[in-house]
Amino acid sequence: MRIEEHPILDFDRGEKITFFYNGQEVEGYTNETIVAALHAAGVRKLGASPELHRPRGLFCAIGNCSSCFMTVDDEPNVRVCVVKCKQGMRVEEQNGRGVVRV
């Protein structure tokens, strides 16, 4: 769910695009963050903690914590709360520490 109108804020979402989350197609906009698009699509669990594998979700939304670490286009540990959506990108849930693929 996205906020369509607001009495004070003006939304410029940009161009509508699609990207892939765990292999599923998701709609987003070029001026919104990955986590905003995932949240609008109903995704609440972004990954799991490295040691105890407890579920992690959106926490600070300003890039200061590690709750939103995900793998984006094979790059692990991307803070998706501050990275904007791009057409065709591949976003994967990251459970524990990220793995660098060579």
| pLDDT tens digits, one per residue of 5-56 | 888 878 788 999 999 999 999 999 999 999 999 999 999 998 888 788 888 8
Q: What is the pLDDT of residue 78?
A: 94
pLDDT score recorded for residue 91:
97
> What global pTM score does this model have?
0.85
Extents of the domains making up the chain: 16-95
What CATH number should be reported for the domain whose range is 16-95? 3.10.20.440
Higher pLDDT, 53 or 98: 53
CA distance 45 to 21: 12
Query: Is there a contact between 98 and 69 (Cβ–Cβ < 8 Å)?
Result: yes
Q: Which amino acid is at 95?
A: N
